[in-house]
């Protein structure tokens, strides 16, 4: 699938960043109504619920690209062997492939799709049942009324005076219970010889407080002779979550956001990375996740003033240095994160503008990294303590 960027029409640098602070994706109608985007979303909604195995999702290249793009895993498109192992990981297993990946996005996609989660099949309902022995009913000798609860449905003071035989009695009782049950057909009442048989297919409960009131001067009698509670159905649990509308819509929203950020990159890679960092950094709990995500690393490196070569040293050394420079918990502080990103946009936006305006060799020093590429970038900047309060 070839993804065509959609024009957003924003200015670059600080001006564009200020506009983005007061708007969401839905405010850009030219983007959200773009026919290509809409066709992709329709395809995702139609096809994803049919992919009940990870290999089936990956076999659909167009769908694979959309789902991996939604989680920022563009660089793994076509890496079917690895991604199948990730997607089939049990989210509850700390030793699974997804759990062992440094980048938390692998755990996110594994958990959301839940292909490897424990699956418990649906347990069908066991019907509730009741048997009533009816005697002495005939023309002119019948019941006056009925009250009682069956399958959790209550009927009160039902007129039975016109039911002169067991078949009519069963039909009157069934109609009353079904009406009280919202006109559903789960409760049935049938006449079998001298008995009335009550059944609730949903297993919602036994007969309670059955009371048949005989007409004055008659010998009609009714007695409850059998009563079975039954049990309700237990829905299936676990297994692939792609059949759930909430899961599909979550991925649609992620995909739409990722496409929006991609289109921002047509104007400014700085804005693209800043928007991505704004939504991603608050959920980061490990410096390894930042290091593994090349675009988050680019933002953090840039603000901390770390050179491009920083991304080439041992990851444990990177982690140790980042820990000394700031507290990772600061990403959850919206005020501190806002200051960090404002500084990043101001610094990188200037460098980006200079690169676009210049054809000299200096421009190569400030070119943005490819989304999902293999190296970091970062322009020189003031230490982070000056950005978030002198930490």
In the chain, domain spans: 1-121+237-267, 128-228, 268-391
Residue ranges of alpha helices (H) inside the chain are: 13-21, 29-32, 35-47, 54-59, 61-70, 80-87, 97-100, 104-113, 166-180, 245-267, 269-280, 287-292, 294-304, 315-325, 334-357
Identify the band that residue 390 occupies on the pLDDT scale cut at 50, 70 and 90: very low
Mean per-residue pLDDT, 68-95? 94
As a whole number, mean pLDDT of residues 221-230 equals 96
* Structure tokens, 202: 């949903």
Comparing C-alpha atoms, which of 244, 203, 217, 240 is closest to residue 138? 217
Q: Are 225 and 133 in contact (CB under 8 A)?
A: yes
Q: Is the pLDDT of residue 353 over 50?
A: yes
Give the pLDDT mean for 285-291. Answer: 91
Average pLDDT value for residue range 11-21: 88
Average pLDDT, the chain: 86
Cβ–Cβ under 8 Å, residues 203 and 152: no
**What's the pLDDT tens digit per position in 26-63?**
888 888 899 999 999 999 999 999 999 999 999 999 99
- Is residue 88 helix, strand or coil? coil
What average pLDDT does the segment 161-181 reach? Answer: 96
Question: Rounded to 5 degrees, what are φ and ψ at 271?
Answer: -65, -40
Predicted pLDDT of residue 355: 58
**What fold, for 1-121+237-267?**
AGR_C_984p-like (1.10.3700)
pTM exceeding the 0.75 threshold for the entire prediction:
no
Q: How many Cα atoms sit within 13 Å of 120 on the Cβ side?
A: 8
Residue 250 has a pLDDT of 96
User: Inter-axis angle of helices 269-280 and 294-304, to 10 degrees?
Assistant: 100
């Amino acid at each position: 699938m070839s993804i065509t960027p959609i024009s957003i029409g924003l200015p670059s640098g600080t001006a564009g960043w200020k506009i983005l602070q007061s708007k969401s994706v839905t405010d850009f109608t030219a983007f959200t109504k773009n026919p290509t985007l809409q066709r992709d979303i329709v395809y995702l909604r139609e096809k994803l619920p049919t992919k009940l195995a990870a290999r089936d999702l990956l076999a659909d290249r167009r769908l694979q690209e959309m789902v991996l793009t939604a989680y920022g895993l563009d660089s793994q498109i076509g890496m079917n062997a690895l991604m199948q192992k990730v997607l089939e990981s049990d989210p509850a297993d700390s030793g699974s492939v997804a759990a062992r990946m440094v980048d938390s996005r692998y755990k996110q996609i594994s958990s959301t799709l839940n292909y490897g989660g424990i699956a418990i099949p649906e347990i069908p309902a066991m019907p509730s049942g009741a048997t009533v022995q009816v005697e002495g009913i005939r023309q002119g000798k019948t019941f006056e009324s009925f009250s009682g609860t069956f399958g959790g449905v209550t009927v009160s003071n039902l007129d039975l005076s016109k039911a002169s035989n067991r078949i009519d009695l069963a039909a009157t009782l069934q109609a009353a219970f079904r009406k009280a049950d919202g006109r559903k057909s789960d409760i049935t009442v049938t006449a079998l010889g001298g008995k009335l048989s009550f059944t609730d297919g949903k297993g919602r409960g036994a007969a309670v407080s059955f009371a048949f009131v005989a007409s004055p001067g008659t010998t009609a009698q009714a007695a409850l002779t059998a009563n079975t509670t039954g049990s309700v159905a237990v829905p299936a649990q676990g297994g692939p979550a792609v059949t759930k509308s909430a899961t599909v819509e979550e991925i649609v929203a992620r995909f739409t956001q990722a496409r929006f950020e991609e289109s921002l990159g047509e104007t400014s890679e700085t804005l693209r990375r800043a928007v991505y960092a704004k939504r991603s950094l608050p959920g980061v709990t490990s410096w390894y996740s930042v290091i593994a995500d090349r675009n988050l690393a680019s933002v953090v490196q840039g603000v901390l003033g770390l050179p491009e070569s920083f991304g080439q040293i041992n990851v444990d050394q990177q982690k140790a240095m980042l820990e000394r420079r700031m507290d990772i918990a600061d990403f959850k502080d919206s005020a501190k994160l806002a200051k960090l990103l404002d500084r990043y946009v101001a610094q990188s936006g200037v460098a980006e503008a200079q690169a676009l305006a210049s054809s000299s060799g200096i421009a190569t020093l400030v070119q943005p990294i490819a989304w999902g590429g293999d190296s970091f970038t970062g322009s020189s900047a003031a230490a982070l303590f000056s950005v978030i309060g002198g930490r």
